[in-house]
Amino acid sequence: MSQLPSARQFLVHAEPGTLDELAASLPEGVDMTVLADEGVILIELKSVAADPHATWIKLMESLRDADWASPVVLDDSEEAHLPTGDVTVRFREAPSATQLKHFAKAHRLELRRRNEFIDEQVAFRPSDLRGTYLPDLVSRLLTEEGVSKAWLNTKSHYRRE
Amino acid sequence: MQILGLRREPIELDLVMENTRAATPSRAILESPDLLDAARAIVHASRAFFIDDPGHSHGSLLGRAASIANRSNEPGPAVLRESKTGLLRTVHREIVIRFESRIGDRRRRRMVKDAGLEVRRVNRLIPDQWVLADPARRTFGADLVPVANRLAESDGVVFATPNFVSEYIRVALPRIGAGQWHLANAAALPGQVLDEDVRAKGAWKRTLGAGTIIAILDDGVDLEHPHLRSRRWRNPNPQAPDQFGRDFFVPDDHPDHYDPRPKKFRHPFDLLAGNDIHGTPCAGVAAAAGYRVPGIAPRARIMAVKIFHADALAADERVADAIRYAAKHADVISCSWTGGNSPDVEQALIDAGSIGRSGRGSPIFCATGNGGGAPVGFPARAPESIAVGASTDEALLAHYSNVGPQVDFVAPSSGGLASITTTDVSYPARGFNLGTDPSGGRSGLHTNSFGGTSSATPLAAGIAALVLSVAPGLDREAVRGLLRETCDQIGAGYDAAGRSQEFGFGRLNADRAVAAALATP
C-alpha cells in the first residue's frame, strides 16, 4: 500500500486567473499542463529530480501565486494519484472529540470529517497547506503510537472495463 | 428455530412475525418492507384456513376468519420463513400429527392429552392423521413449534408439525435467447461450443436469487429501465434519503447525491467515453427481470451505487466509502472497473469483511481488467477481492482478459463469436444501442455488444447471489471457496492445486455452485 512521491510530476493548486503568472514564474526545465479542474495544474520536470522534497521547496519559492503544491504520488504499479490536500488517519481506536482536537493541534491540522462508516478513520488538512510537504506529514503521522495507518487523499483515473 | 421433516431432518425456520395482531415485527421485517408486505399478504390470504370452532362449514370459513380477526384479545397467526427457500409459512393454533397405524386410539389420545392438546378433526382420507389444538387457547403461533417437535420425536409418530398455511411459488423460468448464450449456450452460431455457459437453467430449478441484494458500483444504474425497475433495492427505512442508493461522485450535500442514476452524457452517445452507460448493462447481467433477457439472478435486488461520472477523475476516498456503504446494505458487491492502488480503497475492501452481512462479509467481485493478458488490475488483485476474468463461447480465455495468480475464476463474456445481450440505458438516444435492430433492438432497451471483464464480473456476482439465497450463512471466504470448487476446468495450464494463471479455478458453474450451497450444513 505505497504512496511514493513522484520525482517528476507535481500538482499545483492556484486561484483560477493566476495561471499566466504561474507559467511565467516556472523555473527552467519544467513543463506545465492545466488539468480539467479549474485552478489545478500538473507540472512535469524535464528531468528526474534527485530529491522531490528539495524540488518542491524550489517550486514553492518560485510559484508565489500558488495556494499549495505536492508531488504526485505513485502506487506500487507506478500509477499516478493526484493529492487533494487532505490526509486520512486510521487510528487504532476511535478517538474522542477531545483526543481529536489535541491530535489536530499537535500536528497543526484541521479536522475535515470523521468517516461515516468507520469511527477510527478521520480526514484532516494541514493548517498551513502551502508550507507542508505532504509526504513528510504522512511519515510523521505514522510514527504516532495511536495511528494504525495514514495516507494522502488522492484523485485517480479509473477504467470501466 | 426448526421443525422436523418426515425423516426427522431439521428444517430451519426464521421467525418473521411472532404475532401479527401484536404488530411486533422482527428485525428481518424492519430491514425489508417487501417482507412485511409479503407477511401481511400471506396472513390475510390464510385467514380462510384458520378455523375457530369445530363443525364449521366451508361456507362459513370467511365469516369465521373475520370473527378471529375481530377478536382483540386473541393473538394472531405467526409468520415464519423457511431459511433455505425464503418461502413464508403462517401458523395459528393447530398441529397436524400422523400416527403409525400400529398405535391404538387410546395411546394416541393419551399422547394428545399429555401434550396439552385436543383433537379438532381427523383427516377423512387418512384416519391416522389428526389435527390438534390447545383447548385452553394458550398455545399459539410459534409456541406450537416445540410442542410439535416433542410429538414428532415420540415413538409411534410418523410426523408432527404446526399446521402451516404456506406460500407456494409458481415459477415461470425466464426464457434464454441466443443472445444470452452465457446463461445457456445452444451453439446457435457455428463454432460456439455447446453448453459453454454458466448452467443457469440448472441453478434456476432451485433458486432465482430471491432475498439477496447485489450492489453495482459504477457510473449509475438506470433504475427506471422496465427490466430493472422491479428489481431495484429500496432502503428498508422509508425515511432514509437514500431510497435507492447514492452517488458518491458528488458531495453528500449535493442535491444529486441520493440519485444514483446515469447522469453524464456527451456526443457520441453510444461510446463509453464521456457517457454513463456502463453500470446499467452490468446491472442487467446480474439481475435483470426481463422474461426474455434475464440476469443470472433475476429475483435478486439491485442496489445502485454511483462512483464515476463517465471518465472523470474520482476521489479514492469516495470510492472507498462507496464500498463501505454497499457492504452495509448488500449481500454481494460488483465492481467492473480497475484503477490505481489506493490505500483507502484497499482498506475498504478489508472493512467490507466486517461491515457486510452482520460480520460474515460481503463478497466483492472485481474485474481483472481488459489489458490483453496484462497483470491483474486493482482492486481485483487485492486479497479481499474476488478476481473475475473472462472466457468466451468457444471455451477459450478472452483475448483481453488479464492474467495472474490472483485470478479466482472466469465467467463467459465477449471476445469469441458472440458478445453479451443485456439491458441498456433506456433514455432516448442514449446508450450502446441508440435504437437499431443490429445493436439489440429498436426499443433501445437492450444492447447485444456488451462484454469484457465488465460483463463477466456481475455474472459472477449474480451467481454468488444465487448461492447466498440458499445458503445465507456462508461468509465471504466460504462463498469464494464454494465458487472455486464448483468451477469447470476449461482451457489448459492448471497446476496441481487446480489453478491456472489464465482461468483461475476455471469457468463458473452456477448449477453446481447452488447444489453445493444447498448441501452445506
Q: What pLDDT digit, counting tens, does each position of B385-412 carry? A: 999 999 999 999 999 999 999 999 999 9
Q: Which residues contact B56 (CB under 8 A, 6 or more apart)?
A: B64
* Cα dist from B96 to B114, B248, B351, whole Å: 16, 54, 47
Task: Give the residue on B whose Cα is nearest the Cα of A120.
Answer: B351
Q: Which residues contact A143 (CB under 8 A, 6 or more apart)?
A: none
CA distance B331 to A157: 27
pLDDT tens-digit profile of B476-511?
999 999 999 999 999 999 999 999 999 999 999 999
User: What average pLDDT does this structure show over A48-60?
Assistant: 87
pLDDT tens-digit profile of B33-69?
555 556 666 666 565 555 444 443 433 444 444 455 4
Q: Of A115, A121, A155, which is closest to B316 when you measure between CB atoms?
A: A155
Question: Band of the pLDDT at B217, cuts 50, 70, 90?
Answer: very high
pLDDT tens-digit profile of B157-194?
999 999 887 766 555 678 888 889 999 999 999 999 99
Q: Quick one: pLDDT at residue B175?
A: 81
Contact check, Cβ <8 Å, B367/A80: no
- The mean of the pLDDT values for chain B is 89
Question: Min CA distance, A21 vs chain B (Å)?
Answer: 26
- The mean of the pLDDT values for chain A is 90
User: What average pLDDT does this structure show over B453-474?
Assistant: 97
How many helices and strands, by DSSP H and E, does chain A display? 4, 9
In chain A, pLDDT over 70 holds for what percent of residues? 98
Own/partner contacts of B189-193, CB < 8 Å, gap of 24 or more, are B189/B393, B189/B417, B189/B418, B191/B394, B191/B416, B191/B417, B192/B393, B192/B394, B192/B416, B192/B417, B192/B418, B193/B393, B193/B394, B193/B395
User: What average pLDDT does this structure show over A74-81?
Assistant: 92
Q: Which of A67, A141, A83 is nearest to A107 (CA)?
A: A141
Task: Give the residue on B whose Cα is nearest the Cα of A152.
Answer: B343
Q: Of B319, B336, B343, which is closest to A160 when you measure between CB atoms?
A: B336
Q: Of A153, A157, A159, which is closest to B317 when you measure between CB atoms?
A: A153
User: What average pLDDT does this structure show over A45-61?
Assistant: 86
CA distance B317 to B311: 17
Report CA torsion sign: B129, B131, B135, B141. positive
Lowest mean pLDDT among A21-25, A114-118, B116-120: A21-25
Residue B89 phi, psi dihedral angles, 5° rounding: -140, 135
The alpha helices in B391-493, defined as continuous H runs, are: 452-470, 476-485
Q: Quick one: pLDDT at residue B6?
A: 75
Strands (E), B332-444: 332-335, 337-339, 364-367, 385-391, 407-412, 420-423
Structural contact between residues A79 and B379, judged by C-beta atoms closer than 8 angstroms: no
Contact check, Cβ <8 Å, B325/A117: yes
In chain B, pLDDT over 90 holds for what percent of residues? 74
User: What average pLDDT does this structure show over B434-462?
Assistant: 95
Residue B358 has pLDDT above 50, yes or no: yes
User: What average pLDDT does this structure show over A122-128?
Assistant: 98
Residues of B in contact with A81 (CB under 8 A): 316, 340, 342
Structural contact between residues B297 and B212, judged by C-beta atoms closer than 8 angstroms: yes
Q: Quick one: pLDDT at residue B288?
A: 97
Preferred mutation among B309, B344, B381, B402 to probe A, highest tally of A CBs within 10 A: B344
Residues of B in contact with A80 (CB under 8 A): 340
Q: Quick one: pLDDT at residue B23?
A: 47
Q: Quick one: pLDDT at residue B174?
A: 80
Model-level pTM? Answer: 0.78
Residue B238 has pLDDT above 70, yes or no: yes
Q: Which residues of B touch A (CB under 8 A)?
A: 218-219, 272, 278, 307-308, 311-317, 319, 321, 324-325, 328, 336-344, 346-347, 351, 355, 367, 369-370, 377-378, 452-454, 457
Tell me how crowded residue B158 is: count the other CB atoms within 10 A of its CB.
14
Contact check, Cβ <8 Å, A81/B342: yes
Residue A46 has pLDDT above 90, yes or no: no
Q: Of A84, A151, A160, which is closest to B337 when you measure between CB atoms?
A: A160
Tell me how crowded residue B153 is: count the other CB atoms within 10 A of its CB.
11
Look up residue B25 and give its three cell numbers.
415485527
Contact check, Cβ <8 Å, B370/A161: yes
Q: Quick one: pLDDT at residue B296?
A: 98
CA distance B483 to B507: 10
pLDDT tens-digit profile of B14-24?
777 776 554 44
Task: Give the residue on A whose Cα is nearest the Cα of B451.
Answer: A161
